[in-house]
């Protein structure tokens, strides 16, 4: 039994891994044929060409681990929003398209740039230590990720840029017209 002076071990949330290859493009994430439909409908077809079972089987809190160049292609925001709608916790990859990177954080999707991401296996249970910017694997090994600026972490925690701005307007930390005198 731990003494009153000893710290209580922190329970670490784990996330199931879905592995994808390199160069996953926005048309695979949000197929163009469904762009005229609602986000829920687009999400139902997310990754259907590379992982037909993905949208029906992914669970809230799961993560994608992919190869380099995740999110290449068009600038469609729905490619990130579809993953948020499916409940994904994060995408981990060695590199991301710049447009996708910005769109993902704007809609509240956490992206972790991890040079060694491809070492993580399909179905593995991992923990994300966002404070230390690292991934803790089930065997205890640790993979470092690039640091995430505080303002991007704030966007993810708020559920996206619009939610963050609404919160800041409500609590008074953002003026209605910050650029006016």
pLDDT tens-digit profile, the chain (181 residues): 333 333 333 457 899 999 999 999 999 999 999 999 999 999 999 999 999 999 999 999 999 999 999 999 988 999 999 999 999 999 999 999 999 999 999 999 999 999 999 999 999 999 999 999 999 999 999 999 999 999 999 999 999 999 999 998 888 887 666 555 5
Q: Is residue 38 part of a domain?
A: yes
Confidence (pLDDT) at 2: 35
- Structural domain that includes position 94: 14-147
Could you give the CA distance from residue 117 to residue 161 in angstroms, rounded to a whole number?
26
DSSP letter string, 127-177: EEETTTTEEEETTS-EEE-----HHHHHHHHHTSHHHHHHHHHHHTSS-SS
Residue 173: predicted pLDDT: 83
Residue 180 in domain: no
What does the pLDDT read at residue 179? 57
Assigned token pair, 106: 């704007």
- Residue 168 resides in a domain: no
Taking alpha carbons only, the member of 47, 59, 57, 56 closest to residue 21 is 47
Helices (H) and strands (E) in the chain, counts: 7, 7
- Please report the pLDDT score of residue 159 as a whole number: 95
Q: DSSP state, 37?
A: S
pLDDT, residue 4, reads: 37
pLDDT for res 1? 35
In a domain, 181, yes or no: no
With respect to residue 7, please indicate whether it lies within any of the assigned structural domains. Answer: no
20, HSE (Cβ side, Cα atoms, 13 Å): 27
Buried b / exposed e over 34-63, threshold 16 CB at 10 Å, is beeeeeeebbbbbbeeebeebbeebeeebb
Domain assignment present for residue 173? The answer is: no
**What domain count does the chain have?**
1
Give the pLDDT confidence of 100-110 residue by residue, as tens digits. 999 999 999 99
Three-state DSSP at 46 gives coil
State the CATH number of the domain containing residue 72.
3.20.19.10
Residue 112 lies in a domain: yes
Angle at 134 between CA 128 and CA 139, to 5 degrees: 75
Residues in the chain: 181
């Amino acid at each position: 039994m731990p003494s009153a002076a000893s710290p209580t071990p922190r329970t670490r949330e784990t996330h199931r891994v879905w592995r994808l290859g390199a160069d996953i493009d926005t048309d695979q994430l949000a197929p163009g044929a469904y762009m005229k439909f609602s986000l829920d409908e687009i999400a139902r077809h997310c990754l259907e060409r590379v992982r037909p079972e993905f949208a029906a089987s992914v669970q809230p809190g799961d993560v994608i681990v992919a190869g380099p160049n995740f999110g290449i292609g068009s600038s469609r925001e729905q490619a990130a929003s579809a993953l948020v709608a499916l409940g994904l916790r994060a995408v981990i990859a060695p590199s991301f398209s710049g447009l996708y990177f910005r769109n993902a954080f704007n809609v509240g999707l956490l992206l972790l740039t991890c040079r060694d991401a491809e070492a993580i296996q399909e179905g593995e249970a991992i923990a994300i230590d966002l404070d230390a910017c690292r991934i803790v694997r089930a065997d205890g090994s640790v993979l470092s990720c690039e640091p995430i600026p505080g303002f991007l972490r704030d966007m993810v925690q708020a559920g996206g840029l619009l939610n963050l701005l609404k919160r800041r307007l409500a609590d008074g930390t953002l003026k209605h017209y910050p650029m006016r005198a």
